[in-house]
Amino acid sequence: MAVAAARELRDGEVVFVGIGLPNLACNLARATHAPRLVLVYESGAVGAVPERLPVSIGDPALVAGSLMVCGMADVFQLFLQGGRIDVGFLGGAQVDRWGNINTTVIGPYDDPRVRLPGSGGATEIAIHARRTLIVSRLSRRAFPERVDFVTSPGQRVGGTDRRALGMPGAGPVKVITDRCILEAGPGGEMRLAALFPGADVADVRAAVGWPLAVREPLRETEPPTAEELRILREVLDPKGLHL
């Protein structure tokens, strides 16, 4: 997943990074094809070049040696709402047919079966980043037809297109899973765009809660190169925390 996510990033872009896999993907991209990628963390660190894999989005290693540190009002007002973020990463317990994400509750809000952390910065990343990439492991539980709670809006919410709702960003253009890549089709519905080596359409369809359309031609992704794997395993995540 980290490799597929890294390959989605173009050199020079400004990326709003979360911790964990997205952080890994961004640093892999910087180490390979996108050395000029600028990483912005919601904690206020801009252009960070962490010496170690940060454990939290607020890690002192993100601050020391960064290009700029600003308050969170600036992060959200000037960078995100200001339209200065090219790519945002999102993940969540549930991702649905239209790329809506739930990180709030499983079950009813007032009496939840599982209480999740909530929005954090995700709602505004989903609304304002020029495009977003969703990263999530594929499973029937994680990919329902409709999320229990819309924390971060996708391409369509309650039948209305995101542009009609006044959202500046293009929203989730791709969903990167551990077996395939989904992408937003013309109508905003997530459809199968590429399979990882070894995965097949039937398995993927079985793991998704809606009748999954398949883009023609269906791509097969290039396997990770030896270099990509070396950087991930030896440099970025030697402890295998995220792999």
Partner 1 sequence: MREAIAAHVHDGDTVAIEGFTHLIGFAAAHEIIRQGRRDLTLCRLTPDLVFDQMIAAGCARKLVFSWAGNPGVGSLHAFRRAIEGRGAEALEIEEYSHFGMVARFSAGAARLPFWPLRSFMGTDLPRVNDRIRTVACPYTGEPIATVPALEPDVAILHAQRADAEGNTQVWGLLGVQKEAAFAARRVIVVVEELVDTAVVRADPNRTLIPGTIVSAVVVEPWGAHPSFAQGYYDRDNDFYVGWEEISRDEGALRAWLDEYVHGVADRAAYVAKHPGLVERLSARPLVCAGVSYGY
- The yes or no reply on residue 114 touching partner 1 (CB under 8 A) is yes
- The yes or no reply on residue 6 touching partner 1 (CB under 8 A) is no
- The yes or no reply on residue 78 touching partner 1 (CB under 8 A) is yes
Q: How far is the CB of 58 from partner 1 (least distance, A)?
A: 2
Stretch that binds partner 1, among 105-113, 137-145, 191-199, 217-225 (CB under 8 A): 105-113
Q: Would you say 212 and 12 are in contact if contact means Cβ atoms under 8 Å apart?
A: no
* Catalytically active residues, by annotation: 42
Count of beta carbons in the 10 Å neighbourhood of residue 144:
17
- The yes or no reply on residue 35 touching partner 1 (CB under 8 A) is no
Q: How far is the CB of 153 from partner 1 (least distance, A)?
A: 4
First to last CA, the chain: 9
Q: How far is the CB of 79 from partner 1 (least distance, A)?
A: 8
- The yes or no reply on residue 151 touching partner 1 (CB under 8 A) is yes
**150 vs 231, which CB is nearer to partner 1?**
150
- The yes or no reply on residue 83 touching partner 1 (CB under 8 A) is yes
Assigned token pair, 158: 């309650």
User: Among 89, 143, 149, 196, which residue sits at the site for partner 1 (rule: CB under 8 A)?
Assistant: 149
- As to burial, measured by CB atoms within 10 angstroms (0-12 exposed, 13-18 middle, 19+ buried), residue 160 is exposed
- The yes or no reply on residue 122 touching partner 1 (CB under 8 A) is yes
Stretch that binds partner 1, among 1-9, 156-164, 180-188, 197-205 (CB under 8 A): 156-164
Q: Binding to partner 1 (CB under 8 A): which residues in 166-205?
A: 166-168
DSSP per position, the chain: -HHHHHHTPPTT-EEEE-SSHHHHHHHHHHHTT-TT-EEEETTSEES---SS--SSSS-HHHHTT-SEE--HHHIIIIIITTT--SEEEE--SEE-TT--EE-SEES-TTS-SEE----TTHHHHHHHSSEEEEE----TTTS-SS-SS-SB--SEETTEETTTTT--S--EEEEE-SSEEEEE-TTS-EEEEEE-TT--HHHHHHTSSS---EEEEEEEPPPPPHHHHHIIIIII-TT-S--
User: Among 22, 91, 92, 121, which residue sits at the site for partner 1 (rule: CB under 8 A)?
Assistant: 121
User: Among 44, 88, 172, 224, which residue sits at the site for partner 1 (rule: CB under 8 A)?
Assistant: 44
Q: How far is the CB of 1 from partner 1 (least distance, A)?
A: 18
Residues that bind partner 1 (CB under 8 A): 14, 19-20, 38, 42-47, 49, 55-61, 63-74, 76-78, 80-84, 104, 109-124, 127-128, 149-153, 157-158, 160, 162, 165-168
